[in-house]
Chains A and B, each alone.
Chain A
Amino acid sequence: MGNVIGIGASPKRKEDQRFLTGRGNYVSDIKRPGMTAGVFVRSPHGHAVLRGIDRSAALAAPGVIAVLTGADAAADKLGSLPCGWGISDAKGVPMKEPPFPMLAQGKVRFVGDMVAFVIAETPEQANAAAELLKIDYEVLPSVVGVLEAFRPGAPQLFDDVPNNICCDWELGDKAAVESAFRKAAHVAKLSLVNNRLIGNPMEPRAAIAEYEPGTDRFTLWTTSQFPHVVRFLMGALVLNIPQHKLRVVAPDVGGGFGVKQFHYGEEAVITWAAKRVMRPIKWVASRSEGYVSDRHGRDHVTEAELALDETGKFLAFRVNTLANMGGYLSTFGPNIPTNLYGPLLGGVYTTPAIYCNVKVVFTNTVPVDAYRGAGRPEATFVLERIVDVAASEMGIDRVEIRRRNMIPKEAYPYQTPVLVQYDSGDPMGCLDGALVAADVKNFGVRKSASASKGKFRGLGYSTYVEACGLAPSRFAGRLGARGGLYESATVRVHPTGQVTVMIGTHNHGQGHETTFAQIVSEKLGVAFENVDIVFGDTDRVQFGMGTYGSRSLVVGGAALSKATDKVVAKGKKIAAHLLEAAEVDIQFKSGKFSVAGTDRAKTFEEIAGAAYVPHDYPLEVLEPGLEEQAYYDPVNFTYPGGCHIAEVEVDPETGTVTLVNYTAVDDVGTVINPMIVEGQLHGGIVQGVGQALFENAVYDESSGQLLSGSLMDYCMPRADHMPMMKVATHSTLCTHTPMGVKGCGEVGTIGSPAAVINAVVDALSHLGVTHVDMPATPNRIWRLLQNASLPVAAE
C-alpha cells in the first residue's frame, strides 16, 4: 500500500505519467465513428460589408457535405455569443452590447471573423472547398488602435455604438482625488502603452461535436478551461439545447492561459452543424488560425498621475485608460480592464484616494479578453512604473519610497479606497526577503563589472498585490457578473476505501491531479495513489465554473476540503455505531476513527466497507454509501503578492536587453505542493518577461491585417532568454479560505513586467531615459538611445 502524501510535500505529478509518455488524450486525439472534418472560412479583411456568399462551387466540390453561413444561423434563430459581464458607466448606463453572431451577419469586424463553415469527408476536401467560396466583400476602412478608434471621424464598427465606445467606466472618488492633487508637493506623470498579447497555448483550439438522434443528446469535446460554463452559455443562450441534453467534455488540454476560458463561436457552430449533417464533425485550428481567432490580451493606452507630499507619501492616484475590446465583446471582455484593473490600483500602498476612468473601445481587431493575470498585470505595471518615476523625480531611493507607503503587516485587514479589502499580507517582509535573495547590496559591484564590458546594468523592483480566487459571487454580482463564481467538489469513497474526486475546475497543466490528491490524502489519511481526480466532463462532474483567475485551489480546493470534512463527519457517525460509542467521542486522525481515550478504532477502509455493506449500520438514521458533495463560494478575493527584482544588462551597441538575474519572493498563502508552486511561478514569470521584452501583437493600421500572425513574427519567450530564477515564498495565511491558500497561477505574470521594465529604465537612467514601453526590443532600445540626452558610453 502507498503512503499518505499530504500538504507541503512535493511528489512527482500524477498527470505527468501520461503527458510525458505521449498517452494524453487531447481533443484532436479523439476519433468518432463516421467523423467528418470542418473548416472555418474567416474574413481576410479587418472591416467589410458582407454582401453575399456564393457557395455553389464549394458545395459541388468532392466530399463536401455542407457549407453553413450566418444566414443559416439566422434562419435557425440561433442566439448571439453572450457576454458574461455587464458593466455600466458612472451614471449607471449599461455598456453597449452589440450582438456577436457566431457566423458573421451583414459585416465582418476583424481579420479572422468567421464567415462560413465547410464540412467535408476529410480536412483536405474541406480546405479545398473553402477556397471555392465566392464571398463578396465591400471593404471598409479599419481602425485598430484605441486612440484612433474614438476620435471623431473614425470608422464606426456598429451603427448604434457612437465613437466605438462600449462603456465609459469609472471607479473611485474623483473629487477627493482632485482635492489631493491640489495639495500635492509633487505630481509624477506617466504615459504608457500596455502591449497587446497573444496567448499561444501549446495545443491549438479544437472541437468535435456529435448528435445522437436516439437520445436527442449532443456531445461537444472542446479545448476548454470551463466545460460547464460552455454548456450553460452555449446550450441555454445560443443554441437552445436543454442542459440535460448537452454534454461538454474538455479532456486533456494543452495549456490555456485564459485563451480557452471563453465560449467561442466555433463551439456553437460545430455543435449546431453536427445535428444538421447528422454526423460527428471535428475541427482543429492551425497555429495561424489561432493567431487571428484566439482572444487576445492587454492592449491599453494609459495616462497616470501620482500626487505625493514633500516626504514622498502618496496622496492620490489618477489613471485614465483606453482599453481595446476588439471587434466584439468576448465572454469576460469588458470585465477585464475595469473590475479586474481599477480595484488593484491601490497596490500594496496606503494611497488614500484613487480615481480610475477606463474607456472601453471597439476596434477592428480580434476580441480582447482575459490572458494570464487579466487586468492585474496592467494595473501593477501602471502603479509600479509611476512609483519609480516619482522616486526618480523626487530624488528618493526606489526601495525607500515603497517602504514609506507600504501597508504595514499590522494594518491588515486593510480596506483600500477602490472596493477591495485585503485580508492578509506582509509586503515589507516580501521586500526584505527579496532584497537579500537578490543580493542587492552587491549590485554596484556587478554594475561596474558590466560597465567594464561596455554594458549598462539595471535593477528593477515590483512590489505588488493581486486579487484572485475568482470570486465571491455576491461581490461579483454587484460588479456586473451575470453568473456565480463558486466551485463544487464531490468526494466519492469506494467500498474498498479508494477515493474518486469529481471537481468543477479544469486541469490543463497546473498539476491539479496531484495537488488535490494531496489534500484528500492528508485529510482522509488515504494513500496518495488511491485518489483520482476527475474533471472536464459535464456528464461525470456535477457542476463547476472551471479554471481561471487563480481560482482552482482557492475556490475548488476549498470545496474539496469541505467535502472531505463531510465525509469525515459521516464516517464518525458510522464509526460511533460500529464502536458503540457516542458520536462526540469519535476522533478521526491518520485514517483511523477511534474512541477517545481507548484503543478501539476502525480504519477508513472498514468504515467505507460498512457504508456500502450496511448489515450492521444505523439505517434508521443514516443513508448507506460514503459520498459527499460541497459547493464553496468565497467571502472575499484572495490577495497574493510579493516582491520581484529583475536585473538586466543592456548592450548599448545593439540595444539588446538580457535578463541576467530574477528574484521573486511571493506570498501565496499555504503551499500544498512546493514544486508545483515553484513551477507556476517560473511559468508565470516567463510569461511576464515575454510581455516586457518580446511579445507584441501588431496590426496594420489601415487594413487591419495582423502583422505578427505567426511564431516567425510574434516572439514568445524561450528557455535561453531566462536566467536561473530565484523563487521563494514568504507566506501569510489567507484568513477566509479553509486552508489559508491564496493562489499562485498568475502572480508571476502580474509581478514581472514592471520589475523588468523598471530594471531597463534603471540601466538607462544615466542617459535621461525615464520610460520604456513594452516590449523592450533591441530596435526600441537602440532608438531610445539615439534620442537619449547624453552620448552613448559606458559609465
Chain B
Amino acid sequence: MKPFAYHQPDQIPDAAKLLTSIEDSKLVAGGMTLIPTLKQRLANPPALIDLSKLGHLKGITDDGDSITVGAMTPHAQVAASKLVQTKIPGLAALASMIGDPAVRSRGTIGGSVANNDPAADYPAGVLGLGATIVTSTREIAADRFFLGLFETALQPGEIITAIRFPLPLKAGYAKFKAPASRYALVGVFVAKFADGVRVAVTGAGPGVFRVPPMEMALSENFDPSAIAAIKIDNDGLTSDIHAEADYRAHLVTVMAKRAVDAALS
C-alpha cells in the first residue's frame, strides 16, 4: 500500500468538497474492492475519503410504494432485513449471495453500485428492479446509470446517498457463481411489475444489460417456459479462462429461467 491522506467527514457536502478539491482522491465505503487494489499497489490515490461517519446513509426505510436503502448499508443488513425479505424477497436473496460473510458485513450497496464491477450482483438487482440512484445532487434512473465496464453516470464530486427500489409484484435472482471468485459468471435478475417485466443480466458482458426479448416474452407469460427458447447473442459477451462467450450466452437463458422460478416460488 502506498501512503495516502485519510479524511473522515461527517457531512455529505464536506465529503463532496474533499472529493472535488483533491484530485484523484477516492471515496471508501466498505472498501471491498478499493482496499485490495491499494494493497496490491495498483491504485495510488493521494487521499481516501471515508464515508463511514455519514451515519444517516446507513439503513433501510419503508416508503410505502418503495424501499430506500441507504448507500452505506452493508449487504448482510439488506439480506437480513424483514422489510426487504417481505416486499422484495429477490433483492434480499441477491444480497445474501454476494461474496462471503466478511464481504457482506463490510461491503455496501452504494459502493457496489458506484463501482459497477461487470460481475457484481447489485447492478443486476438495481437495473432489474428499475431502481433510482439517489445522489448528493440528483436522482438517476438505473437505465441511465450503468454505462459499461466500471463506468457510471456519476459526475466528479457526486456521491450516491441511497438506492430507491419500487416494489415489484414478483422478483427473483439466479446466479451462476464463477468457481474461484464466486462473483457472478452470469447472474440474472427478473422483476415483474404491473406494466411489464424487466430482465437484467450481470457477469456475462462488460456491464449489466437488459434483455428485451425475454422481457416481452415474460410480460406475456411469466413462466420459465416462455424464455426457454430465447438465446442471446454471443457477440459482446465476455470470454475468459473460466468461460467462453457462448457458454455465458447459454447460461443467461438458464439463469433467467431459474430467476423466474425463484420469483414464482
> Do A and B interact with each other, yes or no?
yes
Residues of A within 8 A of B (CB): 124, 127-128, 131, 286, 288, 653-655, 694, 696, 698, 707-708, 711-716, 777-779, 782-783
Residues of B within 8 A of A (CB): 1-3, 40-41, 176, 179-181, 183, 241-244, 247, 250-251, 254
B1 touches A779 (CB 8 A): no
Please give the distance in Å from B151's CB to the nearest CB on chain A: 21
Neighbouring B residues of A708 by C-beta, 8 Å:
180, 241
Neighbouring B residues of A288 by C-beta, 8 Å:
40
Known A-B contacts A127-B41, A128-B2, A698-B241; A782 and B180 likewise in contact (beta carbons under 8 Å):
no
B176 touches A124 (CB 8 A): no
B179 touches A715 (CB 8 A): yes
Partner of B180, one of A128, A286, A653, A713: A713
Please give the distance in Å from A310's CB to the nearest CB on chain B: 43
Partner of B181, one of A654, A713, A779: A713
Cα A124 to Cα B39 with chains together (Å): 11
Neighbouring B residues of A694 by C-beta, 8 Å:
179-180
With A654-B176, A696-B241, A713-B241 given, name 7 new contacts (CB 8 A).
Answer: A127-B41, A655-B247, A708-B241, A714-B180, A777-B242, A779-B243, A782-B247
Known A-B contacts A654-B254, A712-B181; A707 and B3 likewise in contact (beta carbons under 8 Å):
no
Please give the distance in Å from B124's CB to the nearest CB on chain A: 18
> Most B CB atoms within 10 A — which of A127, A711, A715, A716?
A715
Q: Which residue of B lies closest to A656 (CB)?
A: B176
B251 touches A654 (CB 8 A): yes
B179 touches A778 (CB 8 A): yes
Cα A478 to Cα B165 with chains together (Å): 74
Neighbouring B residues of A654 by C-beta, 8 Å:
176, 251, 254
Please give the distance in Å from B260's CB to the nearest CB on chain A: 14
> Most A CB atoms within 10 A — which of B2, B181, B242, B254?
B242
4 closest Cβ contacts across the A-B interface?
A715-B180, A715-B179, A712-B181, A779-B243
A711 touches B242 (CB 8 A): no
Q: Which residue of B lies closest to A721 (CB)?
A: B179
Cα A684 to Cα B40 with chains together (Å): 32
Please give the distance in Å from B246's CB to the nearest CB on chain A: 8
Please give the distance in Å from B155's CB to the nearest CB on chain A: 30
Neighbouring B residues of A715 by C-beta, 8 Å:
179-180
Q: Mostly helix, strand, loop or mixed at chain A's interface?
A: loop
Partner of B244, one of A698, A707, A779: A779
Cα A127 to Cα B1 with chains together (Å): 9
Neighbouring A residues of B242 by C-beta, 8 Å:
713, 777, 779
Neighbouring B residues of A707 by C-beta, 8 Å:
241
Please give the distance in Å from A132's CB to the nearest CB on chain B: 13
Neighbouring B residues of A696 by C-beta, 8 Å:
241
Cα A288 to Cα B37 with chains together (Å): 12
Name 23 interchain pairs, CB-CB below 8 A, sorted by A.
A124-B1, A124-B3, A127-B41, A286-B40, A288-B40, A653-B254, A654-B251, A654-B254, A694-B179, A694-B180, A698-B241, A708-B180, A708-B241, A711-B180, A712-B183, A713-B242, A716-B180, A778-B176, A778-B247, A779-B242, A779-B243, A779-B244, A779-B247
Please give the distance in Å from A776's CB to the nearest CB on chain B: 11
Q: Which residue of B lies closest to A700 (CB)?
A: B241
Please give the distance in Å from A342's CB to the nearest CB on chain B: 32
Neighbouring B residues of A782 by C-beta, 8 Å:
247, 250
Cα A716 to Cα B181 with chains together (Å): 10
Neighbouring B residues of A124 by C-beta, 8 Å:
1-3
Cα A696 to Cα B244 with chains together (Å): 16
Q: Which residue of B lies closest to A782 (CB)?
A: B247
Cα A653 to Cα B228 with chains together (Å): 11
Q: Which residue of A lies closest to B100 (CB)?
A: A718
Neighbouring A residues of B181 by C-beta, 8 Å:
711-713
Cα A654 to Cα B255 with chains together (Å): 9
Cα A696 to Cα B241 with chains together (Å): 10
Cα A278 to Cα B180 with chains together (Å): 43
Neighbouring A residues of B254 by C-beta, 8 Å:
653-654
Neighbouring B residues of A711 by C-beta, 8 Å:
180-181
Q: Which residue of B lies closest to A698 (CB)?
A: B241
Cα A588 to Cα B254 with chains together (Å): 72
Neighbouring A residues of B183 by C-beta, 8 Å:
712
> Most B CB atoms within 10 A — which of A655, A696, A779?
A779
Q: Which residue of A lies closest to B243 (CB)?
A: A779
Cα A714 to Cα B241 with chains together (Å): 10
Please give the distance in Å from A365's CB to the nearest CB on chain B: 15
> Most A CB atoms within 10 A — which of B1, B2, B247?
B247
Q: Which residue of B lies closest to A779 (CB)?
A: B243
Please give the distance in Å from A286's CB to the nearest CB on chain B: 8
Known A-B contacts A698-B241, A713-B241, A782-B247; A777 and B3 likewise in contact (beta carbons under 8 Å):
no
Cα A229 to Cα B250 with chains together (Å): 53
A777 touches B180 (CB 8 A): no
Neighbouring A residues of B1 by C-beta, 8 Å:
124
Cα A654 to Cα B40 with chains together (Å): 34
Please give the distance in Å from B98's CB to the nearest CB on chain A: 15
Please give the distance in Å from A307's CB to the nearest CB on chain B: 38
Neighbouring A residues of B176 by C-beta, 8 Å:
654, 778
A777 touches B179 (CB 8 A): yes
Q: Which residue of A lies closest to B183 (CB)?
A: A712
Please give the distance in Å from B38's CB to the nearest CB on chain A: 12
Q: Which residue of B lies closest to A130 (CB)?
A: B41
Q: Which residue of B lies closest to A127 (CB)?
A: B41
Cα A708 to Cα B181 with chains together (Å): 11
Cα A708 to Cα B247 with chains together (Å): 19
Cα A88 to Cα B250 with chains together (Å): 50
Q: Which residue of A lies closest to B242 (CB)?
A: A779
Neighbouring A residues of B179 by C-beta, 8 Å:
694, 715, 777-778
Please give the distance in Å from B232's CB to the nearest CB on chain A: 16
Cα A115 to Cα B176 with chains together (Å): 41
> Most B CB atoms within 10 A — which of A131, A286, A694, A713?
A713
Cα A654 to Cα B251 with chains together (Å): 7
Cα A711 to Cα B183 with chains together (Å): 12
Neighbouring A residues of B251 by C-beta, 8 Å:
654
Cα A713 to Cα B242 with chains together (Å): 8
Cα A783 to Cα B247 with chains together (Å): 8
Partner of A712, one of B180, B243, B247, B250: B180
Cα A128 to Cα B3 with chains together (Å): 10
Q: Which residue of B lies closest to A651 (CB)?
A: B254
Please give the distance in Å from A727's CB to the nearest CB on chain B: 25
> Most A CB atoms within 10 A — which of B179, B247, B250?
B179
Q: Which residue of B lies closest to A653 (CB)?
A: B254
Cα A243 to Cα B41 with chains together (Å): 40
